[in-house]
Amino acid sequence: MGLIEITPYCVDILILDGWLLGSYEKPIDYIQPFLDYLIYVECSIPTAKKRRFEREKEFQSKNLGFSNVELEEFWNSVILPLFNKNQKAIIKNSNYLVFNF
């Protein structure tokens, strides 16, 4: 899958990856009507960080995104604190929980 993928047809199933959607007290209003389920899949912090850095390589190959140093700083100053602050709300807002993934 690419950075941005456009299809000429309507899909039956769309999996939107990312924890920010579930981090608010109420899921984002403009997208909520289109969601059937919000599923929280547990992932360890080291695994999440590894995956985030791997995804950034695709951006970097197109001269986009963060350098490794910038991403490390962004991870430590923004992503990790926001996740730690919002994890309980993410779980609370989810329809289904998957642990020990």
Of the candidates 30, 36, 19, 18, which has an alpha carbon nearest to the alpha carbon of residue 92? 19
The pLDDT of residue 4: 66
Structure tokens at 92: 């609370």
Of the candidates 22, 38, 35, 33, which has an alpha carbon nearest to the alpha carbon of residue 97? 38
Question: Per residue in 35-70, pLDDT tens?
Answer: 788 888 888 899 989 999 998 998 899 998 899 999
pTM over 0.85: no
Q: Which residue has the tokens 């909520």?
A: 32
Tell me what the mean pLDDT of segment 10-25 comes to.
68
Which residues partner with 41 through β-bridges? Answer: 98
The pLDDT of residue 38: 81
Max Cα–Cα distance, the chain, nearest Å: 39
